[in-house]
Amino acid sequence: AQKITQTQPGMFVQEKEAVTLDCTYDTSDPSYGLFWYKQPSSGEMIFLIYQGSYDQQNATEGRYSLNFQKARKSANLVISASQLGDSAMYFCAMREGSNFGNEKLTFGTGTRLTIIP
Amino acid sequence: GAVVSQHPSWVICKSGTSVKIECRSLDFQATTMFWYRQFPKQSLMLMATSNEGSKATYEQGVEKDKFLINHASLTLSTLTVTSAHPEDSSFYICSARELVYTGELFFGEGSRLTVL
């Protein structure tokens, strides 16, 4: 079974609109971390936001917020007021186990986001 | 944030030759580095975990004799693709964690390998 599922291979969004990128995960470990990365066409992986399984509040970083619904095992990324520079591939990833000593990430298949002017 | 640099950023080689890719942590010491492989329009797949001063741990299905990993210092890990074949053509990305682990992994810019 897939550990990380991103069901949207591609999305087109009008500039300045908000966009939600879906991510569901599967783990039996009570301790885990969820990440979102942005990969522009140049290839580098840019860290966006992190949510720990025990975090009480949804993570936010500037225009990025993570809609964490633990019971549904979903960790959707919300980008507010989208910009042309947001066009890129977006990957959801999970680290199972505690922070220390286990940093392997499992990535989803990604969502290609295109912002339309 | 911390900087991880890969070199070369792209390389073209003939089938049968070996190619070495370097991953350096520029402003921090990295006890652990990870090597990922990404085929076009696909996700990142972890190949191996590289620990300074010890043998790398390879994921299931990754040939350790083909993908040689050396982590000789706290700032450098190398991936050598031996006897490369066209099917080895891919985007290889490394990531690193700091000596004092803060929870964040830092990724290199990636290296695109094309084997003719």
> Phi first, then psi: what are they for A84, rounded to 5°?
-60, -35
Task: Kindly state the average pLDDT of the residues A12-22.
Answer: 97
pLDDT in tens, A24-45: 999 999 989 899 999 999 888 9
Select from B107, B111, B112, B113 the residue whose CB has the most chain A CBs within 10 Å, as the one to mutate to test that interface: B107
Which pLDDT tens digit goes with each residue over A42-92?
A: 888 998 998 989 998 999 999 999 999 999 999 999 999 999 999 999 999
Helices in chain B by DSSP H: which ranges? none
pLDDT digits (tens, 9 = 90+) for B53-101: 888 999 999 999 999 999 888 899 999 999 999 999 999 999 987 766 5
The confidence score (pLDDT) of residue A36 equals 95
Contacts of A45 in chain B (CB under 8 A): 44, 93, 95, 107, 110
CB contacts, 8 Å: A2 with chain B: none
The verdict on a CB contact (< 8 Å) between B93 and A105 is no
**pLDDT confidence of A12, banded at 50, 70, 90?**
very high
Chain A residues in contact with chain B using a Cβ-Cβ cutoff of 8 Å:
33, 37, 42-47, 50, 91, 99-100, 103-110
- CB environment A28-42: b (16+ within 10 A), e (fewer): eeeebbbbbbbbeee
